[in-house]
Amino acid sequence: MLIDFKNLNVNQLPSETEFENKIKGFLKEWFSEIETVQVQTSGSTGAPKVFDIEKKKMIASAEMTCNFLDLVEGNTALICLPIEYISGKMMVVRSIVRTLKLIITEPNINPLRDIDCKVDFCAMTPLQVENSLDKLHLVNNLIIGGAAVSESLKKKIFQISDELTDSQRIFETYGMSETLSHIALKQIFPDPEDFFTTFENVEISTDERGCLKIFAPHLNTEVLQTNDLVEIKKNNQFRFLGRIDNVINSGGAKIFPEQLEALVKKEIPREVVFLGLEDETLGQKLILVIEGEKSQEILDKIAEIPFEKNFHKPKEIAFIGKIPRTPNGKVNRIELKNILQNNINN
């Protein structure tokens, strides 16, 4: 289904699939007299929750993204993310704000499979991009969010660079439900960047723990305190180091799992997660979990990885058929840790 927001009549929109029906329902909610909409969090760092967001703040967020990407009326966008979450809702709101033509594609791991036309703008998860490499040349502006973009995925994108044009741009996003999607972007292609750059009118700082604080009054009247450890540069740029609640304390040493995962993913083409499981001696024992069947070749590659510190080397390596994820594609560390802990206890 394609929705042309220049000639929109919500009641005449077809709704042949459940996803199309949900989008139609959201549009009716959006154009109602109620000033807020409900958004569900992913639950990747705790219990999922539902909260209300003012429509005018979602419009402000949409304008920031559209302005940054130079989207204009009549451009084509593709939605392939669940409409329950802020990521999906904001794709619709951006289309409304900038009068785009929105292609509706059922959320799945290969959203470009049935697409054969150029798309000016699309948002995907890393897993969706991984399965869409053969058709990325169709997307002029791609933003990737929901989880960190691995080094292995970045390599794969550059391996197909001959199929892409200089005018195509791919970004990694930083944001969350509370910031109404992203407040900063980091270019992956064609010019890879190490630091996220914030949008205009977004102020950033850190607390005493080194965790990011965000003040964007047009999105949220309060300073948003995150649990994301960062390094700030030039007042409007920052590098993500890891979530403080994911930090592993092993024998008194603090370990940032996200940094180790990025290092390992440079060498092996699989999803990997570092976790700290309870240990009487160390407090937490560093475990590396690898998705897929056990492989001696992969074990040999891991043995050759130059970890910066000796305590960065995993004490154990576990293989699992499928790493649990939240409905919007994020690794569910809490559930994964419970699975491993239960396997040990049993």
Tokens of 27: 């549009």
Digitized pLDDT (tens) for each residue of the chain, 346 residues in all: 889 999 888 888 877 899 999 999 999 999 999 999 988 776 555 556 788 889 999 999 999 999 999 999 999 999 999 998 889 999 999 999 999 999 999 999 999 999 999 999 999 998 899 999 999 999 999 999 988 888 888 989 999 999 998 889 999 999 887 788 899 999 999 999 999 999 988 999 999 999 999 999 888 888 999 999 999 998 899 999 888 989 998 888 889 999 899 899 888 888 899 999 988 888 899 999 999 999 999 999 999 999 989 999 999 999 999 999 876 667 888 899 999 888 766 5
What is the maximum span of the chain, computed from C-alpha positions, in angstroms? Answer: 66
CA dihedral 76, 171, 247, 237 (to 10 degrees): -120
Kindly state the tokens that stand for 122.
Answer: 């699309």
Q: Which pLDDT value is given to residue 292?
A: 93
Count how many Cα atoms sit within 13 Å of the Cα of residue 221 in the half-sphere of its side chain.
3
- Residue 88: the pLDDT is 93
pLDDT in tens, 170-194: 999 998 877 888 999 999 999 999 9
Q: DSSP for 237-294? A: EEEEEEEGGG-EEETTEEE-HHHHHHHHHTT-SS-EEEEEEEETTTEEEEEEEEESS-
Torsion angles phi and psi, residue 45, rounded to 5: -120, 10
Residue-wise pLDDT for 143-159, tens only, equals 999 888 888 889 899 99
Residue 215 and residue 224 in contact, taking contact as beta carbons nearer than 8 Å? yes
Q: Which two tokens stand for residue 17?
A: 């699939």
pLDDT at 235: 87
pLDDT of residue 18: 92
Whether residue 126 is preceded by a cis peptide bond, meaning omega within 30 degrees of 0, is: no
**Closest by Cα among 39, 124, 37, 40 to 79:** 124
**Confidence at residue 266, expressed as pLDDT on a 0 to 100 scale:** 85
CA 143 – CA 127 distance, rounded (Å)? 13
- Residue 103 has what pLDDT? 96
Contact 135, 78 (CB under 8 A): no
C-alpha–C-alpha distance, residues 19 and 106, integer Å: 6
152 φ/ψ angles, rounded to the nearest 5 degrees: -65, -35
- The residue count of the chain comes to 346
Question: Domains in the chain, ordered, with CATH?
Answer: 2-243 (3.40.50.12780), 247-345 (3.30.300.30)
